[in-house]
Amino acid sequence: MCGIVGYIGEKKCVPILIEGLKRLEYRGYDSAGIGTIEDGECKVYKKTGKVSQLEDKINGREIKTPLGIGHTRWATHGAPTETNAHPHFNGKNSILVIHNGIIENYATLRKALISSGFNFISETDTEVLVHLIDSFKKKGFSLFESVRYALNEVEGTYGIAVISSDEPDKIIVAKKGSPLVIGIGDEENFIASDVSALISYTSQIVYLEDGEIAEVKKDSFCAKTISAVDIEKEIHEVTMSLDEISKGGYPHFMLKEIMEQPESIRNSMRGRLLHKEGTAKLGGLVGFEDRIADSKRIIITACGTSWHAGLVGEYMIEQFTGIPCEVEYASEFRYRNPIIGKDDTILFISQSGETADTLAALKEAKRRGALCLGVVNVVGSSIARESEAGVYIHAGPEIGVASTKAFTSQLIVFALITLLIARKKQLSHVDGKTIIKEIESLPEKIEKILKLNDHIEKIAEEFKDSLNFLYLGRGYNFPVALEGALKLKEISYIHAEGYPAAEMKHGPIALIDKNMPCVFLAPSDSVYEKIISNIEEVKARKGRIIAITSENDDKIDKMVDYTIKIPDTIRMLMPVLSVIPLQLLAYHIAVKKGLNVDQPRNLAKSVTVE
Ligand code: G6P
């Protein structure tokens, strides 16, 4: 996601900012920008694409100034263009703002600011911050106070840095829900969204907490809460290596991304749940809701993990909306002669938004007049641009080749789409509210499951030398069985198959002996007793069993080799929880086999070829 870096001291700021931005590149971004104060005026340099392209753009200019801020943007509101890139500035070009996070009430604030005469040039939520700060400065407040007052009017999340040509001896920074640190130097100070941007300059770090704001000068800093209470901040000594830090302290991106899931799914649902109405609000589908609800059929098309998310989506849509739904591999869909037309809605699911088969299927479906919607992670990607409308999953950049957090975010978006359509059809207000409550409880439940990491690592040690694995689940957990098997295949190169548990007797049961581990998805739901029978069948053939069960289950413990206990939720949301232990199991097995977890052999993160 977006990155922030800033410098105030005695050196030229630009090389420091460029190096800091390069350190943040691993997070993924689509444009970059730098803002400085030169000869008493704010100056802004922006470029879409890579930081090196921004560097080329600035090269050759004599910029001596020792104060500047820099940003890498990963588009959320508005396409990745130079206008939408940060820093944003006010009309007089006297205030520059860079921002990570999402201002949820930006539309209301923007309207109010426009009617007070402020002129907007970008499509971003960030630009409201600039004008809001400006509106307080115009009333005579200092930069610090203006930022503080502005933030009191804002709903959502932010890590921000602000500079002004009127007070060119400081950077104002603040944080809520998006990280912001201050790096302490000698006659120089730094700010950044991530310690990795600063580690080659200083190891003395101050971590801002949510709701805190600080004024950073070259030789001092002071902090308050945004309700103006003074606070003493502690300076921490950071000892991590650069490599460790860029992975947030985790040994691999995949583990980092697994661990990020409480936060990434929060980002997927943020601002999209209408509690009072018991439904969802999806900005990207406004104007299309009735057409979707009136569709004769919904088709979901995708590849890989996104296809598995689509299978869960099918169960949700059919259970709650009554609209027939089918899921198809994009590669098959594009080459047969699918019978589709104007009454069909087709959802194209893709983390990267660039998968060639999914993109080609989209073009074909569009040609045939179906309503084509994208469910995509990467903003401004080809599938996002090519679709008529859609929903971004907002999982943040996913770097590990094996998809983890994008999957759970895709499931959240499916739940929101289902809620939106179902409430237009047969779902009651009360049931809508129950679903919302359950969706909101998921991040905390995932946190609980992530605490089982050590237990799962021990299980991985036991099974790392197995040559085959079987994953079995029913109903909503059948697609999770497929996804668990795929995760293991992708990164550990162990042969693994996912099956609907009841299908086991039609083939896979022939494979079961003492060398065949079976992973059962067995939460306490409507098919629990049936799953118990399947477990018995495997046990009778001496198969070894790992079972994912509900927290309060004590029956399965006695029947199997290992249990991994997870919290309960409603059936439609169970995959968001039950997939987490399977991601961790695959991860630990691969690590124990000494394999390259983040870049497994032969696989690519974004498959842009057929
Ligand atoms: C590749 C990746 C998978 C991903 C699939 C679909 O195979 O390795 O992790 O699930 O592509 O990618 P998409 O970006 O369209 O979701």
pLDDT score, position 275: 96
pLDDT digits (tens, 9 = 90+) for 509-545: 889 999 999 999 999 988 888 899 999 999 999 999 9
- Regarding beta strands 181-184 and 562-566, do their DSSP bridges make them parallel or antiparallel, or are they unpaired? unpaired
Is 36's C-beta closer than 6 angstroms to any atom of ligand 1?
A: no
3-state secondary structure of 43: strand
Which position among 2, 42, 325, 372 bears the catalytic label? 2
Q: How many CA atoms lie within 13 A of 430 on its CB side?
A: 0
Per-residue pLDDT of 248-281, as tens digits, reads: 789 999 999 999 999 999 999 999 999 999 999 9
Answer whether 3-243 and 248-446 agree in fold. no
CA of 362 to the centre of ligand 1 (A): 16
Q: Does ligand 1 lie within 6 Å of residue 264's CB atom? A: no
CB-based contact 336:363 (threshold 8 Å): no
CA of 485 to the centre of ligand 1 (A): 15
Task: From 577, 490, 480, 16, select the one nearest 261 (Cα to Cα).
Answer: 577
pLDDT over 80 at 177, yes or no: no
Atom of ligand 1 nearest to the CA of 490: 8
pLDDT average, residue stretch 377-388: 84
For the chain, the distance separating the N- and C-terminal CA atoms, rounded to the nearest angstrom, is 28
Closest atom of ligand 1 to 305 CA is 10
Closest by CA to 76, choosing from 127, 1, 25, is 1
Please state the rounded mean pLDDT for residues 392-401: 87
DSSP code at position 209: P
Is any ligand 1 atom within 6 A of the Cβ of residue 608? no
The pLDDT, as a whole number, for residue 605 is 66
Per-residue pLDDT at 26: 64
The yes-or-no answer on residue 325 being catalytic is: no
Mean pLDDT of 65-84: 90
d(CA 175, CA 191): 12
> 450: burial class by Cβ within 10 Å (0-12, 13-18, 19+)?
middle
Q: Distance (Å, rounded) from C-alpha 33 to C-alpha 585?
A: 40
DSSP character at residue 253:
H
Q: How far apart are CA 396 and CA 610, in angstroms?
A: 26
For ligand 1, mutation pick of 411, 605, 610 (most atoms within 8 Å of CB): 605
Per residue in 569-610, pLDDT (tens digit) is 999 999 999 999 999 999 999 999 999 998 888 777 667 555
In this model, does residue 244 exceed pLDDT 60? no
Q: Say if residue 286's pLDDT is above 60.
A: yes
Tell me: pLDDT of 225 over 80.
Answer: yes
Q: How far is CA 480 from CA 246, 263, 398, 523, in A?
A: 30, 21, 20, 12
pLDDT above 90 (res 547):
yes
DSSP string across 270-305: TT-EETTTTEE--GGGTTTHHHHHT-SEEEEEE-HH
- The CATH fold assigned to 3-243 is Glutamine Phosphoribosylpyrophosphate, subunit 1, domain 1 (3.60.20)
> Encoding tokens for residue 355?
């998968």
Q: Is the CB of 351 under 6 A from ligand 1?
A: yes
From atom 3 of ligand 1, which residue's Cα is the shortest distance away? 304
| Arch. (CATH architecture) of 248-446 | 3-Layer(aba) Sandwich (3.40)
Q: What is the pLDDT of residue 442?
A: 98
Separation CA 183–CA 192 (nearest Å) = 8
469 Ramachandran zone, left/alpha/beta (phi>0; psi -120 to 50):
beta
CB atoms under 10 Å from CB of 466, counted, come to 17
How is the chain split into domains, by residue range?
A: 3-243, 248-446, 452-594
Q: Is 360 in the pocket of ligand 1 (CB under 6 A)?
A: no
Q: Are strands 297-302 and 344-350 parallel, antiparallel or unpaired?
A: parallel
Distance (Å, whole) CA 569 – CA 575 = 10
Residue 99 corresponds to which amino acid? H
Element (H, E) at 4: strand 3-8
Strands 468-473 and 495-500: parallel
> How many A from CA of 607 to the centre of ligand 1?
7
Rounded Cα gap, residues 607 and 359, in angstroms: 11
CA distance 223 to 215: 6
| Average pLDDT along the chain | 93
pLDDT band at 247; cut points 50, 70, 90: confident
Name beta bridge partners: 69: 6, 35
- Per-residue pLDDT, 197: 86
Q: Ligand 1 center to residue 437 CA distance, Å?
A: 30
Query: In sequence order, what are the residues at sequence separation of 6 or more whose Cβ sits closer than 8 angstroms to the Cβ of residue 102?
Result: 76, 77, 125, 156, 157, 267, 270, 271
- What's the rounded mean pLDDT across residues 150-177? 95
Which helix (H) or strand (E) element contains residue 325? strand 325-329
Token pair of 483, please?
């996804």
The dihedral region occupied by 563, where left means phi > 0, alpha psi between -120 and 50, and beta the remainder, is: beta
* Residue 196 Cβ contacting ligand 1 at under 6 Å: no
Report the residue count for the chain. 610
pLDDT of residue 36: 97
Is the pLDDT at 246 greater than 80, yes or no?
no
Mean pLDDT of 416-445: 97
Is residue 243 scored above 60 in pLDDT?
Answer: no
pLDDT at 436 over 70: yes
Residue 195 confidence (pLDDT):
79
Q: Do the strands 236-237 and 273-274 form a parallel or antiparallel pair, or are they unpaired? A: unpaired
Joined together, the tokens standing for residue 307 give 């296809």
Quote the pLDDT of residue 608.
56
Residue nearest atom 7 of ligand 1, based on CA coordinates: 304
Contact 268, 413 (CB under 8 A): yes
pLDDT of residue 569: 97
Instruction: Say whether pLDDT at 505 is over 90.
Output: no
Tokens matching residue 559: 């029947």
The DSSP code for 396 is -
What local confidence, expressed as pLDDT, does residue 373 receive? 98
Dist. CA 397 → ligand 1 center (Å): 13
Of 375-384, 391-400, 586-595, which one has max mean pLDDT? 586-595
CA dist., res. 431 & res. 283, Å (int): 22
C-beta neighbour count of 478 within 10 angstroms? 25
Its pTM stands at 0.72
Tell me, yes or no, if 247 is annotated catalytic: no
Nearest CA to ligand 1 atom 15: 350
**How remote is the C-alpha of 71 from its chain's centroid?**
19
User: What is the pLDDT, as a whole number, of residue 262?
Assistant: 96
> Using an 8 Å Cβ cutoff, are 221 and 6 in contact?
no
551 close to 565: Cβ distance less than 8 angstroms:
yes
Asked if 414 contacts 302 with a C-beta cutoff of 8 angstroms, the reply is no
- For ligand 1, whether the C-beta of 165 sits within 6 Å is no
pLDDT in tens, 97-146: 999 888 989 999 999 999 999 999 999 999 999 999 999 999 999 999 99
The pLDDT, as a whole number, for residue 241 is: 62
**Ligand 1 centre distance from Cα of residue 355 (Å):** 7
Superfamily name with CATH number, domain 452-594? Glucose-6-phosphate isomerase like protein; domain 1 (3.40.50.10490)
The per-residue pLDDT for range 3-31, each reduced to its tens digit, is 899 999 999 999 999 999 988 876 667 89
SS (H, E, C) 192-225: ECCHHHCCCCCCEEEECCCCEEEEECCCCEEEEE
Question: Is the distance from the beta carbon of residue 491 to the nearest atom of ligand 1 less than 6 Å?
Answer: no
The three-state (H, E, C) secondary structure of 446-514, written as one string = HHHHHCCHHHHHHHHHHHCCCCEEEEEECCCHHHHHHHHHHHHHHHHCCEEEEEEHHHHHHCHHHHCCC
Q: What element of type H or E holds 33?
A: strand 31-38
